[in-house]
Chains A and B, each alone.
Chain A
Amino acid sequence: MRGSHMVSAVLPSQFAELTEFVAQWALPSEQARFNQRIHADPANIKHFYDTILPWMDRILVHLRDFPPLDPPAPELNLMRLALSCVEVSRIFEAWGQQDVRADFLDPARFTCVGYEGVKHSLSRKVKP
Chain B
Amino acid sequence: MPVNPPYDFPMKRRYEELGTNPVSTEPVISAEYFEAERHAVFERSWLMVGRESELPNPGDFFVKRIAPWKSTVVVARGRDGRINAFHDVCPHRGMHVCGREQRGNRKFFTCGSHGWVFGLDGRVVGVSEESWFHTLDKDRLRMPPVAVDSWEGFIFIHRDPAPAESLPEFLGEINIGYGGYFDDIFFKPVGRYEADVKMNYKFYLDSSVEAYHAGYTHLQNNTGQNAKSGTALRLESSATRLYRRHRTIGVPIGVGIRDLAPIEGLAFKHGGAITPYDSRVKDRPLPSGINSNRDENWAFDILEIYPNAILFLSAPLYAVIGLWPSAVDRCRFEVEVYMNEPSNAAERVALEYGLVSLRDVIREDLNIAEGSTDALASGALKEMQLSDQEIAVRHSYSVLNQVMKDRLTR
Chain A positions within 8 Å of B, measured between CB atoms, are 30, 34, 53, 56-57, 59-61, 63-69, 71, 75, 79, 82-83, 85-87, 89-90, 93-97, 99-105, 107, 109-115, 117-118, 121-122, 124-128
Contacts and interface: CB of A to CB of B under 8 A. Distances in A.
B229 to A, nearest CB: 14
Contacts of B197: 105, 109
Contact of A66 (B190, B223, B270, B345): B345
B352 A124 contact: no
A122 B192 contact: no
State the 8 A-B residue pairs at the shortest beta-carbon distance, nearest first: A126-B104, A93-B261, A68-B348, A63-B345, A89-B263, A113-B192, A104-B370, A63-B346
Given A64-B270, A126-B105, A87 B352 contact: yes
Given A63-B346, A68-B345, A111-B194, A57 B266 contact: yes
B41 interface: no
Contacts, number: 163
A95 B360 CA distance: 11
Contacts of A94: 220-221, 223, 261
B367 A105 contact: yes
| Max chain B C-beta neighbours (<10 A), residue from A68, A107, A118 | A68
Nearest to B261: A93
A95 B220 contact: yes
Given A65-B344, A115-B191, A109 B103 contact: no
Contact of B221 (A95, A115, A122, A127): A95
Contacts of B88: none
Interface in B87-108: 102-108
A124 B54 CA distance: 12
B267 interface: yes
Contact of B345 (A53, A71, A104, A121): A71
Given A63-B344, A83-B352, 16 more contacts: A30-B356, A61-B346, A68-B341, A68-B345, A79-B348, A83-B348, A93-B263, A94-B221, A100-B360, A104-B198, A104-B370, A109-B197, A113-B193, A115-B190, A122-B189, A125-B105
6 contacts: A64-B344, A64-B345, A93-B261, A93-B262, A127-B104, A128-B59
